[in-house]
Chain A
């Protein structure tokens, strides 16, 4: 089945550690995105990538890093510099020139 796969679904991290969230899509979409969702709030854009080997900061990029070495993959690293990393993270993708994006099922990150 085509879709966006995020892993892991649940992740616990100790303070001071980096952690990487995986996002893979087999929809042949060129553009991929990472959003953060906090309880009772909307989604905020962390990073996005329109093509392989290129990405741009979103509205809340500080403390995060990404890479886009393959079209299908857009991993997000939550670094120790992110002051409040506990949140629900959503990966998304869209076709070239398309303005409709589709989401993965999300990853819960909890800092303990």
Chain B
């Protein structure tokens, strides 16, 4: 149980285009999903917290107009990187919180999306 999928797994795009990444919880309802970014040889940095039916909460320094997050249902959150530039190239990972698992704090991670902006 507690499987999270992400699509696409890899994407290459030209500078200036927008890219949408989907995160789905496959066998549970995720009231909260999280989006992380990881640069090579660095740890995961939390970008934003996504709550179903409400606006996302962004971490300090993350541009909300550049990284658009939508959490339209209990099983789907999307991250859109708008007007992508080469410095946005990174590994984007989502996670989902299953409120019924363990103490409710556990996050289940998707397999990640490798974004390369040319």
Are A and B subunits of one complex? Answer: no
| Contact surface of B with A, Cβ cutoff 8 Å | none
| Contact surface of A with B, Cβ cutoff 8 Å | none
